A and B are shown apart, each in its own frame.
Chain A
């Protein structure tokens, strides 16, 4: 009776599901839950866990995990939404900058959705570290554009501390996300093979 066409999976990895396979429940509610919870944790609890001016980034781990599990479109949208939530609810002095950075991170992680190389635990953790580096470096760039006074040594120390602390929180975040979302599969309604 339903006229809704089945969603199409397009996992780029060689062992991923083939195109044309009918999707199971996409669990977008779980994606939204993960992103909102991570963003709220990021603005409430994480700033108090400050070591050497670095702050662990739960949101970047969540966005990377969502991207790896659900593809580039969901990853990008999740990143942008999470970034906007952080910027709206925490005094960060920008609106749109973090959203853009997390969007890029989510999109990039989503490009690896379904790849065999990121099925283990270590590669996603490394990906989280790289993503945090990108977010921190982008944040520094945004602050420089806004003519905020920064000290090179301070920036390096903050960046390193943030990356290390993010690595520590990455494993539990990745585990929870995998548990909530299930197996990696692209649920993007507009995905076709070899796209973007």
Chain B
């Protein structure tokens, strides 16, 4: 046995095996490194998008096949929730409050549009709503992306905003990061790269940049202390970023609700904690906003 293991042939075989495994490890590391450095339109991302398109019919089929089970689960869950009367009433109260605030925002928006006629558009007139099913979730629980069953054939493009309806009304969910002919990948707001210009109309249209801090939690920085923000205020997309840059998100999409505000007497700015209106973890359907107007198309090409 030992002679066999020490023979030149055996040594060559051992070396070959180690080369194969070592080569695979090296390949993984190199691919991981290049993937992390290239942009979303790079060749490796393109390869990923192409492979995703190939398995889309399978994922679509599985999604439809298990839909009755999911519906039964949702029904059972809603039945259990219905027993909790207080929670139900609180939910209805929140929904009515959200609708009221949305109405207030619309009134303010109309007044603003009347005052500066021709300078802005409501986002709903610039986009074609494309309802889509979520057909695949990320296999990694730490990476909050999903695939929808609509793609460029339906007008969905990269950077198209994605909204969804929750129990408390519609809200911004994320954006399209990759778009194939029949499917697209959406990234939720909880991605660390998220940076959304937002406004709080209830605090004299305070403006800030919303960024994720932890799963299900966001923070707005840069709001001056002269524009006091209160818990419960609704946060909307502002339609622009700092320095007058266009945002990929149109103005007026509800994003979240202010949960807390932190600032001291000496601070000139305040830090605002926000919880999202729509929880991305429980979605089955979303609406992608396909750009229709020139402005919307320009937003979609904003870097």
| Chain A residues packing against B (C-beta within 8 Å) | 19-20, 40, 42-48, 50, 53-55, 72-73, 76-77, 80, 83, 86-100, 103, 107, 139-140, 143, 146-151, 154-155, 158, 162, 188-196
Contact = CB atoms under 8 A, between A and B. Distances in A.
A47 B145 CA distance: 12
B137 A99 contact: no
A44 B58 contact: yes
B59 A154 contact: no
A148 B141 contact: no
Nearest to B281: A53
B5 A192 contact: yes
Contact of A192 (B10, B32, B35, B58): B10
B104 interface: no
B62 A45 contact: yes
B20 A91 contact: no
B140 A139 contact: yes
Contact of A47 (B16, B137, B212): B137
Interface string B188-202: 001110000000000
A73 B20 contact: yes
Select the residue from B13, B21, B59, B141 with max chain A CB neighbours within 10 A. Answer: B141
**B-side interface size class:** 35 or more
Interface of B: 1-2, 4-5, 10, 13-14, 16-18, 20-21, 24-25, 27-33, 35-36, 44, 47-48, 51-52, 54-55, 58-59, 62-63, 66, 70, 136-143, 145-147, 178, 185, 190-192, 212-215, 281
Contacts of A193: 1-2, 4-5
B211 to A, nearest CB: 9
Contacts of B213: 149
Contacts of B52: 88-91
A193 B59 CA distance: 44
B192 A95 contact: no
Contacts of A188: 17
